[in-house]
Amino acid sequence: MNSKLWIRKALSTCLAIATVLTYSLVTMANAERVAGEILVTGKNADGRTSFVKVNGETAQSGRSIFSSSTIATPENAGAIISLGKVGKIELAPNTTLALSFSEKGMSGDLMTGRVTVLSAADGVVINTVDGKSLTLNSGNSASAATKMWAARYWRKCIKGRGMRDEG
């Protein structure tokens, strides 16, 4: 009789612990975290669907994008990133953008290429490699500094120092 009581108590305790753990996992999974979705545009030379890189990993349409992600598009593909109410942006081919966002807005560091704001609740702040900080509204685009810009910049620096321009 004593062993049946002991088994019953042990089983009840295990069931209670399992219930508590289950509800705590549900609570953790329900944490509000803003996420976006990527849509890859373009085709490879062989006709297959293109891909982009998200934080260095290959990604295709439908992948979730989280804040502080770096998205890089190859020469044959672009990407549209939809962040729900926050907005939607488009990355042209050969673009690299470090994207940050929250439920209040989005911003990014544009290293190469061009980004276009398709829709946004507020202006999207884009920082370019040439030091500009631009606020883009729906329909506006920003481009990163190009090799041409860099060449002109260095020529200007060289001439400003009284050095001979080799290029």
Q: Give pLDDT tens digits for 121-146.
A: 888 999 988 888 889 999 998 888 65
48 and 9 belong to one structural domain? no
27 and 98 belong to one structural domain? no
In the prediction, which pLDDT does 25 show? 64
For 13, the domain range is 1-31
14 and 86 belong to one structural domain? no
pLDDT tens for each residue of 104-126? 889 999 999 999 999 988 889 99
16 and 56 belong to one structural domain? no
Strand segments, DSSP code E, in the chain are: 35-41, 52-54, 57-59, 64-66, 69-72, 78-82, 87-91, 96-102, 105-112, 114-120, 124-128, 133-136, 141-143
Instruction: Let me know if residue 127 belongs to a domain.
Output: yes
145 and 64 belong to one structural domain? yes
Instruction: Let me know if residue 156 belongs to a domain.
Output: no
